[in-house]
Copies of this chain bind each other. A is one copy, B any other.
């Protein structure tokens, strides 16, 4: 099976189970909690969960699927709270939860999803020992995600963020939940400690690389393709890896902190390409993916391992 088909199948399966569990919200708050969860999304975390589970013990994958939802639900909880913090009005093409229900209900809707994530781990058909470890892992992961989000916010008031600080931030904010998706699947499938660690590292690295690619897309992707506002990070003076490496090379991006014409953006891209900034940024993401994939070599050769590897490359090769 190719990557695209696998992702589509997983999304269909995840949406079906979500509907079974939460399809009939009994209260207004449940509706608010469901809103973003039922608004689509690529279901990448459940996909990584399933791939990891299939590599370790395919016979168990179906039993532990509720925990795959736990990761998706956790992701959605963080998005609802992040959207409040960032004041964002749309997400997945729909109004954000706080825009529709107000901030108090949106804070609560996020909290409800947070609680459901732990309930879902407990629902997995796995040993109690592995469910306790998985819960602990999810709890630690959530605390790390919060730290990452807090660091991201704190970067807004700084112009001196270092490369290491940036990589730590994206690893916490985005990487660890991918890591936990793979690792929790492994834990619930009774994988060995080293297998769990390889899969955790796979997720952390590819998740961080995904975020770096997002920064590149923000600069490079034409708005008619991405549906987003091109070069918004540069205009807002955001401390992305592009901005950090540009600064390392003595390129001053301050003059670009304003509305930019199409030609000015094209000129900026040429400048950042010719000076090697884009190449260096891509190299960081590629190294992460390389390290993620190397860790997979210790697992048995199977279609799912190949798909995990394809997924990692997809993360840094996608154009939007």
Known: A131-B132, A143-B115. A107 touches B105 (CB 8 A): no
Do B119 and A81 touch (CB < 8 A)? no
Do B146 and A111 touch (CB < 8 A)? yes
B contact residues around A136 at 8 Å (CB): 118-119, 122
Interface digits, A109-139 against B, CB 8 Å rule (1 contact, 0 not)? Answer: 0111011111101100001110111011011
Q: Is residue A85 within 8 Å, beta carbon to beta carbon, of the partner chain? A: yes
B contact residues around A85 at 8 Å (CB): 103-104, 107-108
B contact residues around A118 at 8 Å (CB): 118, 135-136, 138-139
Do B119 and A153 touch (CB < 8 A)? no
Q: Which A251-280 residues have C-beta < 8 A from chain B?
A: none
A214 to chain B, nearest CB (A): 20
B contact residues around A139 at 8 Å (CB): 115-119, 122
Known: A118-B135, A136-B119, A150-B27. A143 touches B84 (CB 8 A): no
Per the bound structure, the CA–CA distance linking A224 and B217 in Å amounts to: 62
A172 to chain B, nearest CB (A): 11
B contact residues around A121 at 8 Å (CB): 135
B contact residues around A140 at 8 Å (CB): 115, 119
Q: Is residue A18 within 8 Å, beta carbon to beta carbon, of the partner chain? A: no
Q: Is residue A147 within 8 Å, beta carbon to beta carbon, of the partner chain? A: yes
Known: A128-B132, A136-B119. A150 touches B108 (CB 8 A): yes
A62 to chain B, nearest CB (A): 20
Q: Is residue A307 within 8 Å, beta carbon to beta carbon, of the partner chain? A: no
The 8 Å CB contact of A114, one of B27, B119, B142, is B142
Do A115 and B146 touch (CB < 8 A)? yes
B contact residues around A27 at 8 Å (CB): 147, 150
Per the bound structure, the CA–CA distance linking A279 and B107 in Å amounts to: 37
Q: Is residue A149 within 8 Å, beta carbon to beta carbon, of the partner chain? A: yes
Known: A105-B153, A107-B107. A112 touches B143 (CB 8 A): yes
Per the bound structure, the CA–CA distance linking A138 and B117 in Å amounts to: 12
Q: Is residue A229 within 8 Å, beta carbon to beta carbon, of the partner chain? A: no
Closest residue to A81 on the B side, CB-wise?
B107
The 8 Å CB contact of A29, one of B84, B104, B112, B150, is B150
Interface digits, A166-205 against B, CB 8 Å rule (1 contact, 0 not)? Answer: 0000000000000000000000000000000000000000
The 8 Å CB contact of A128, one of B108, B116, B131, B149, is B131
Q: Is residue A294 within 8 Å, beta carbon to beta carbon, of the partner chain? A: no
Do A81 and B138 touch (CB < 8 A)? no
Q: Is residue A28 within 8 Å, beta carbon to beta carbon, of the partner chain? A: yes
B contact residues around A114 at 8 Å (CB): 111, 114-115, 142
Of the A-B pairs whose beta carbons lie under 8 Å apart in the complex, a sample of 8, sorted by A's number, is A81-B107, A104-B150, A111-B114, A112-B142, A119-B136, A127-B128, A128-B128, A128-B131
A46 to chain B, nearest CB (A): 19
Closest residue to A28 on the B side, CB-wise?
B150
B contact residues around A119 at 8 Å (CB): 136, 139-140, 143
